[in-house]
Chains A and B, each alone.
Chain A
Amino acid sequence: MDSQHLNPSSLKSRFTATFLRALIKINAQKPISSSSPREIFQRYRRIKVAADKSMAYSVRSRRTWSRATLWKLRSRSRSRLASSGRRSSVKTRTTTTTTTTTTATNHRAAIVEKTSHEKENKEDHVGLAVQAEELRELVPGGESMDLCNLLDETAHYIKCLTTQVQVMKKIANLYSLE
């Protein structure tokens, strides 16, 4: 809807240009004649990383969450280059983290239920601090922020995510028309 007034230096146009360039690079890497499920999966991973990276790059280091994303992606690619033979161990680490998160989330959900029922109108700060833990896991770099910064970064992160989804949707629709 507001694509009619696209400001060349706006976040949306910076993201679009960066992401498109990444897509073209990904497309050029493998002449895609055979699309085996494995190749499609690899491409999907690369596209997803490109999308997150393009958005974080368009935001630059102005935000804690974008800095955290860029740092995470760079250190991940660095470790992959350094240890191309140890890929299996990297996968294991990721799986473990996911399991820990799920357990912690269930445990926290129990606390939150109790907390929000007992103290909803009164002790909002306590409920917030517990609820914020869940948010910290979703927002990049959230672990080290105080509550105020976390809320502020979250608002910006959500705005950028919606822009990212909007542009990706548009690109997908245009591609599927070709």
Chain B
Amino acid sequence: MSSRRSRQSTAGVSRISDDQIIELVSKLQQLLPEIRDRRSDKVSASKVLQETCNYIRSLHREVDDLSERLSQLLATIDADSAEAAIIRSLIM
């Protein structure tokens, strides 16, 4: 891999070393469930970024769905007693 330290290809990518980027991308790779399970080293950086975007979007959707579920559940419970139970079960 040739050294491209001084290349300024686009506005946001100037004077950043290859190694830094590679390290950060592989750190991201570890967090993605899809790629991590595939156990392959040959995932390109742009694929990692693409998967990252998809993963963040799916996490946002999950937060949305859970918020909706909670809004319906909230109507049916007595929050104070539930709170004690929740904290107990989360901490124990």
Contacts and interface: CB of A to CB of B under 8 A. Distances in A.
Chain B interface, DSSP helix/strand/loop, else mixed: helix
Contacts of B60: 138, 161
Contacts of B87: 16-17, 20
A120 to B, nearest CB: 5
A5 B24 CA distance: 29
A161 B63 contact: yes
B34 interface: no
Contact of A164 (B25, B63, B91): B63
Interface string B1-43: 0001001011111001000110011011001000000000000
A120 B55 CA distance: 21
A131 interface: yes
Contacts of B21: 125, 128, 147-148, 151
A174 B83 CA distance: 10
Contacts of A44: 67-68, 70-71
Contacts of A68: none
Contact of A148 (B24, B71, B74): B24
A43 B12 contact: no
Contacts of B46: 112, 115-116, 120, 124, 127-128, 131
10 contacts: A16-B90, A27-B79, A112-B50, A128-B13, A129-B9, A146-B12, A155-B24, A170-B89, A174-B89, A175-B86
Interface of B: 4, 7, 9-13, 16, 20-21, 24-25, 27-28, 31, 44-47, 49-50, 52-53, 55-57, 59-60, 62-64, 66-80, 82-83, 85-87, 89-92
